[in-house]
Amino acid sequence: MYNIEQYKLDEIIDANSLQDIQDKYSKLTNLSTITVDRHGVPVIKPSNFSKYCSLIRTSKEGYRRCITCDAMGGLQSSKLKKPIIYRCHAGLTDFSAPIVVNDIHFGSMLCGQVIVKENNTRDSIDLEKISSELYLPLDKLKSALNEINIVEYEKVKNSADFMYMFANLIAKMGVANIAHSKLLEETKEKMKFQQLARDIQIKSIQAQINPHFLFNTLNTMASMSLLENSSNTVDLIYALSDILRYSLRNSDKMVNISTEIKNIEKYLYIQNVRFRDKLDYKIDVSSDVMDCKIPAMTLQPIIENAVIHGIEPKKQPGKVSIISKIVSEKYIAFKIEDNGVGMNPEKLQSLKDKINSSGEDDSNINIGIQIVQDRIKYYFGSQYGIDIKSSPNEGTTVYIKIPLVF
């Protein structure tokens, strides 16, 4: 579910549209207008700014005071959830219309830069003090102040109320558009995952449990049954049946890491019998992660690739290892390593490109890893997934990053 608080004002309302709204409002009311974020920083260009305020902001200290004043006005109006009218640090009357959606303050539209007829006059503004503190020429301040409009309080109040209603209507429409877009994205992701789950079930033998592996396992069992009477064969059959059952029953589920490891142990047991002295393996998964959750069939396709594409083509014996650790108490890092034939840089880059795209690929190695990558990102987000390193004749290492989920 998306978090509305992560969005900025100019992401909710398109900046060009916001500028157009602000310009037209300022022209309609003849009021200076500026839109700021929740920190008082302008998000678009000011409209109809007075010479007086523009001059004030040429001073570094004056600009700082304007930003602080705008932020305070916006914050106060957001707390009250209504527009407020106030005098700025330079003596003019402004009003702040907060932009609040679902009780979240995104910013404010600030208008005014006027003198209110009923409240003050130009003479009530201490220009000498402002000139001294901001290092601005007194004569320029006086000239600019003389151009400031004097308006009635009722006009300021009505303008503030109108701006509040209008700005929030536009913001709510923007938030609704974001919610609609996110809903569409989530629906597409769910549909993609549902199709992925169906593909895993339909193609489980060819994608998750490679046909090559299944064919050779059956041959091995048949050969052994002729030579002995026949406990090892029974163990192989049970192991294979358990793997098939695990794949078909859990293809779209989350399981404990301990359950996934047990399945891998059965897979490696079968391959160890098949390859005899050619395959060695090591599983070093710490007990503190065994109760954590992981999408079923996350590790097994990676192990299968290591054996079939790494160790099997190698003339000498090979080894596969699985290591895990918890990093910063935030996520689990798996390292699946083989000392097989490896890949050259071009093949490695091609594999990385394919598994990080949504396109289909006919090779079993790409299908298996891409399915794992897609499922991890679906369950946990784009910051998690797979990385691969490999060197020719040295082997391949696959890194898997998933969050700590119990």
Q: What is the 3-state secondary structure (H, E, C) of 365-390?
A: HHHHHHHHHHHHHHHHCCCCEEEEEE
Contacts of 63 (CB under 8 A, 6+ apart): 56, 57
Domain covering 4-183 in this structure, CATH number: 3.30.450
d(CA 200, CA 204): 5
The angle at the Cα of 91, spanning 88 to 96, to the nearest 5 degrees, equals 25
2 token code pair: 């998306």
Distance CA(273)–CA(210), nearest Å, equals 17
Which pLDDT value is given to residue 193? Answer: 60
Parse the chain into domains and list their residue ranges: 4-183, 207-403
For domain 207-403, say whether CATH 3.30.930.10 is its number. Answer: no
Reported for 153-159, long-range contacts at CB under 8 A and 24+ positions apart, including other chains, are: 153/85, 153/116, 153/117, 153/118, 153/119, 156/85, 156/93, 156/95, 156/112, 156/114, 156/116, 157/85, 159/29, 159/31, 159/95, 159/111
Q: What is the pLDDT of residue 178?
A: 60
Can you give the pTM of this predicted structure? 0.48
Give residue 77's pLDDT: 82
Detail the DSSP E strand segments found in 78-235: 84-87, 93-101, 104-116, 150-151
What integer pLDDT is reported at residue 202 of this predicted model? 42
CB 384 within 8 Å of CB 401:
yes
pLDDT of residue 101: 74
Give phi and psi for 73, each to the nearest 5. -60, -45
**Residues contacting 272, CB < 8 A, separation 6+:** 279, 280, 281
CA-based torsion, 97, 99, 100, 105: positive or negative:
negative
CA–CA gap between residue 228 and residue 145 (Å, rounded): 105
Between the alpha carbon of residue 379 and those of residues 76, 97, 141, 209, 376, the distances in Å are 41, 41, 61, 22, 5
Which residue is listed with tokens 């079930």? Answer: 201
Q: Which residue ranges of the chain lie beneath pLDDT 50?
A: 1, 201-209, 211, 362
In the block, tokens 């000139």 appear at 131
CA distance 355 to 339: 22
293's CB contacts (< 8 A; 6+ apart) are: 254, 255, 256, 257, 405, 406
pLDDT at 212: 55
CA-closest candidate to residue 267, choices 281, 256, 277, 254 = 281
| Residue 42 DSSP SS3 | strand
Q: pLDDT digits over 39-91, tens only?
A: 778 888 888 889 999 999 999 999 999 988 888 887 888 788 788 888 999 99
Give ∠ CA 366-372-375 in degrees, rounded to 5: 130
The pLDDT value given to residue 92: 92
Contact 56, 134 (CB under 8 A): yes
Render pLDDT for 321-344 as a digit per residue (tens, 0 to 9).
999 999 988 899 999 999 999 999
Q: Is residue 104 within 8 Å of residue 140, measured between CB atoms?
A: no
CA–CA dist 341, 108 (Å, integer): 62
Q: What are the percentages of helix, strand and coil residues in the chain, rounded to 5?
A: 55, 20, 25
Strand-pair category, 395-403 with 331-338? antiparallel
The pLDDT value given to residue 23: 85
Instruction: Give residue 104's pLDDT.
Output: 76
Contact 131, 137 (CB under 8 A): yes
